[in-house]
Structures are given as C-alpha cells and as structure tokens.
Structure 1
Amino acid sequence: MSESAEQVQTTERLWQEFRQEPFPDSLRRATFEGTDVWLIELDIAGCVLRWLDNNGTLDSKNSILLQSRIEDLDRVIPEINDPVGGQYCQRLHQLAVLVSRNLPSTK
C-alpha cells in the first residue's frame, strides 16, 4: 500500500471515530479571538470530507482554509479549561494535521 493510500485509510478511520464523538457542551458557546469553536470544527470537517472525497487532495482555497483553522486550533487549545473539550479539539487538530501533511504549502 502506498503512503498516500495508507494516509487516506488512516484518515477515514480517524474521521469515523471522530464523528462518533458528540460536540462538547463546554464548547457550544466558546469563542476565541472572535471565532466560535463550532465554526472552526465545521470548516475542518468540510475540508476533511472534501479531502476524503477527492482521494487525498484539496483545492488551494480549502488548503488555505484548513491551514488557517489548524493555526486557530493551535491558539484555542491552550485556552480550553474543560478536559473533554480539550481532548475533542486535540483529536480535531490531529485529523486536520494528518490531512494537511501532503498539501502544497500555502505560505
């Protein structure tokens, strides 16, 4: 199995596991730097689904969005006081980073 096929397979498994998790109540109204956490999650989920639907590729618009949301999570995660919310965002971050690994650089 190629590395990219393995990455898609791993991402599919992690995505299915992530989808089983309910969105933590502690994050429902959480806002960091003017952005709602649920919106960060929604954008990442959309990018992950597009990436999976396109066999491990994203267009430049979604690549930029995904990278931006990873950076948002980098700032958000240390501010979360609830362990359940923190773990949820860590898993979301792990999934986003896995998808972004082989994308073209947006910098």
Structure 2
Amino acid sequence: MSKKNWKGVPIEKIRDWQISFAAESMDFLVPGPCPVCGQSSLRRYYHLGHFEAREIRGVRYQGKGSVWEWCSSCGTYSHSQAYVPETWKDLRLDVDHSKLTPVPDVIDDLISSLT
C-alpha cells in the first residue's frame, strides 16, 4: 500500500491544478508538470457509477461517476463527482472498487505497478 503523505490541493495552487487537468486524456497518465512540485507525475482515474450517455456543450459522456486527480510524486490530490468522458478507456487497471476512498492510494499503487 502506498505510503505517501496524501494532501489536498493548496488553495493558492487550485487554479493551476485545474488548468493542468483541463486537457482531456484517454489514459490515466496526464501530460505536464505538477503545479505543486514540478514533477511530471500527474495521474487521473475515472470510475463510472451510472451509465447514462449524454452530450454537454459538444462533449460526449458515458455517464456520472467519480474522478481522482493526483500527483504520484508529491501526493497532492483531488476527488470529486464528475461526468466520465466518452473517450475514457480504462483497459489496463483491475481496480477493486470496494476499496476506493477519496484518497487515490489504491489506484496509485496499481498504476505504479504498471509503469
């Protein structure tokens, strides 16, 4: 299990954090440096909770769920409800969803074992 010191996004970095994760990604690896520590270790994971295909402002979604966004280097993270983009494909992770919490440690451990 991950031994990181997980922490929320500092208030002064929230805007930069949102910009860093604004780019749509079809994978859990997010390009670019972390706005908190500068390392290129940004990750994202969506969990589809309820399939309900829809289009919002020209973007197609699979349905409602949750999103985790974090830096695997410094342990900064955010977790929220979200619409899961139609482009999201999670073919490489075998996540036990019963073990998920707002902290992305379970997902981070799985990704670390792949990279």
Q: Verify same fold: TM over 0.5.
A: no
TM-score between the two structures when normalised by the length of structure 1? 0.25
Give 1 or 2: higher strand fraction. 2
